[in-house]
Structure 1
Amino acid sequence: MKPNPIQGKLAGLSILVVEDGADNQRIFRHFLKMAGADFFIVEDGRSALERALQDESIDLVLMDIQIPEIDGYEVTERLRNAGFTRPIIAVTAHPLQLEKPQGAKAGITDFLAKPIQIETLVQTIIKYTRPEPQAAAPEASPEPAPAVTSAVEIQDSEPFLLSKYHNNQMYRSIIIEFVRSFQQRIEDMVALINDMNWEKLGFALHQMKGAAATYGYPQVSEIAAQMEHTAKEARRDVHAVQTIRKQAEHMRGMGIRMQSGLDGFENRTV
């Protein structure tokens, strides 16, 4: 078994995580715990402000940009104006070249792109909390490839679908949790389609898009991106409603293939 490359790497550090998405919270919780960090998660900008200004033990802040009440840039700017000097790392799904100018103005220390690359996350935290002048700085987290949103379906030929991290022990438990909850999430999305609640559906799909990529299912992430685009179209185009229903059924089928892949892999490893 390969050694865990992040095990204990962040021991002794206190990290404030500002993230409202349940999947990303789960990912941060799983890997920061594995790396040995102490951490606290808040879901909105106002709570982030209060916690950061009151807790002097915080070594670094991981700041999602799209958060409720006050966005990540305004939170950062207020913290800097209040004298907060510790590193603030922005986490965003938007193109970094578009985000960096505004981030620099607000006082962001650095950026990480979603989907989150776990080893890059840990390396970046180490870079700004335990600097070693002669050590090579980690490369910036690569930006995710833009999702294709024009096609309704992706051609699938295999009866099962495995995460690209299926052999990585670090990911095993959260992959299992993601796959086992997947069909219920599809049912929840279908209910939102039936209710024509496009705003809430779009939020759920945005979360699914990033989570699936982080869990190692880029095919699922791409379908979620297509559906997110279609949900926007459905607000003004009745024909898009039928399209998104077909996409949801395709997503349901992918969930079955994911479960088959997980079952088959677990049977081979018993």
Structure 2
Amino acid sequence: MQMSQTLQSVYSVYGDDPNLAELVEIFVSELPRRVETLQSHAEVEDWESFARVAHQINGNASSYGFPQLSTLAARIEYACRGSNSTKAILQSLDNFIEYCEQIRAGVPGKRIA
């Protein structure tokens, strides 16, 4: 029997903060473009640029209330800067992308206008 994996939505810890909610929304809306940038650097094995983008996402994710996303971005950066294999780096990227698919703006149970 094959089980279907249901992804849980992940919200910022600052999603209901009136001073940060709009910034969180912008961060979330830009996340797919950042993932594409990471994938582009990985395709050409530009690990320096790849690590730089992961570093930026790491800091931004933390600032906008996504601590687990920040941790996953840091893992990408460290995998890239260390002596890890391309396979290990790409696995870190896959884990990051899978988690990004769960990221949402706003707060659970509330729709964004």
Residue 221 of structure 1 pairs with residue 66 of structure 2? no
**Aligned residue in 2 for 1:172:** 21
- 2:101 matches 1:256: yes
Letter in 2 for 1:256: E
Which of 219, 230, 234 is the equivalent residue of 2:79?
230
Q: 2:69 is aligned with what amino acid?
A: V
Q: Does 1:242 align with 2:87?
A: yes
Tell me the C-alpha RMSD between the 2 structures: 2.2
Pairing 1:133-212 to 2, within 5 Å after superposition: 159-212=8-61
Q: Distance in 2 between matches of 1:230 and 1:172?
A: 32
What residue ranges of structure 2 are gaps of 5+ in the alignment? 1-5
The answer to whether the 8 A contact 1:183-1:252 is kept is no
Structure 1: segments with no counterpart, 5+ residues: 1-156
1: CA distance, partners of 2:25 / 2:110: 10
Q: CA deviation at 1:256?
A: 1.6
State the distance in 1 between where 2:41 and 2:62 align. Answer: 23
Q: What is the aligned residue count?
A: 108
How does the TM-score come out when normalised to structure 1?
A: 0.37
Report the Cα distance in structure 2 between the residues aligned to 1:191 and 1:182, rounded to whole angstroms: 14
Deviation digits for residues 179-211 of structure 1 (CA, Å, limit 9, x no counterpart): 111111111101101111111111111111111
> Displacement, 1:163?
0.5
After TM superposition, the structure 1 = structure 2 runs for residues 20-169 of structure 1, keeping only pairs within 5 Å, are 159-169=8-18
- Give the TM-score normalised by structure 2: 0.83
Larger Rg: 1
- One-letter identity of the residue aligned with 1:164: V
Counterpart for residue 20 of structure 1: none
Taking the aligned partners of 2:44 and 2:107, their CA distance within structure 1 comes to 34
Q: Which amino acid aligns with 1:167?
A: D
Q: Tell me which moved more, 182-191 or 214-223.
A: 182-191
Provide, for residues 186-237 of structure 1, a one-character-per-residue CA deviation record: whole Å limited to 9, x for no partner.
Answer: 111011011111111111111111110000000000001110001113xx55
Q: Identify the structure with the greater helix proportion.
A: 2
Q: Deviations over 1:31-50 (max 9, x none)?
A: xxxxxxxxxxxxxxxxxxxx
Q: Greater relative contact order (Cα 8 A, min sep 6): structure 1 or 2?
A: 2
Aligned counterparts of 1:265 and 1:197: Cα–Cα separation in 2: 40
The 1:162–1:263 alpha-carbon spacing in structure 2 relative to 1, beyond 3 Å, is closer
